């Protein structure tokens, strides 16, 4: 059964720093990997989607990489801002979108002004 682990569980950094969030998964036979952001008490907002054939995706200050063979993904946030404070969730799809995502437990990120 697929398992997804996110490290660190929590991170607090000063504004302006570049940072990396890590995600690992046990079964490399994934369909795609998605990074989400969740603000307290809210739903999930999709940040980046990487298909299994891709190595990375970029959106603004965010860059996500995927190394399927080693079961790892990273989310890089450049020039962090207080508005980036949230919980970041990594999720993998192993069944072509038909049977749900397997989630990590998230990294709780605080950007200090």
88 binds another protein (CB under 8 A): no
| CA 63 – CA 27 distance, rounded (Å) | 23
Q: Among 2, 22, 24, 31, indicate the residue that binds another protein (CB under 8 A).
A: 31
| CA 73 – CA 32 distance, rounded (Å) | 11
Q: Would you say 76 or 103 has its CB closer to another protein?
A: 103
Distance from CA of residue 55 to its chain's centroid? 14
Instruction: Catalog residues that contact another protein under the rule CB under 8 A.
Output: 31-32, 34, 36, 41-46, 49, 51, 89, 91, 93, 96-101, 103-106
């Amino acid at each position: 059964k697929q398992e997804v682990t996110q490290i660190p569980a929590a991170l607090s950094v000063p504004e302006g720093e570049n940072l990396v969030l890590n995600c690992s998964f046990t079964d490399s036979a994934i369909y795609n990997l998605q990074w989400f952001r969740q603000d307290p008490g809210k739903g999930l907002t999709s940040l980046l989607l990487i298909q299994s054939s891709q190595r990375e995706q970029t959106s603004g200050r965010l860059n996500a990489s995927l190394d399927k063979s080693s079961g790892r993904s990273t989310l890089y946030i450049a020039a962090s801002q207080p508005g980036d404070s949230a919980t970041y969730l990594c999720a993998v799809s192993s069944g072509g979108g038909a049977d749900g995502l397997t989630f990590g437990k998230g990294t709780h990120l605080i950007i200090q002004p």
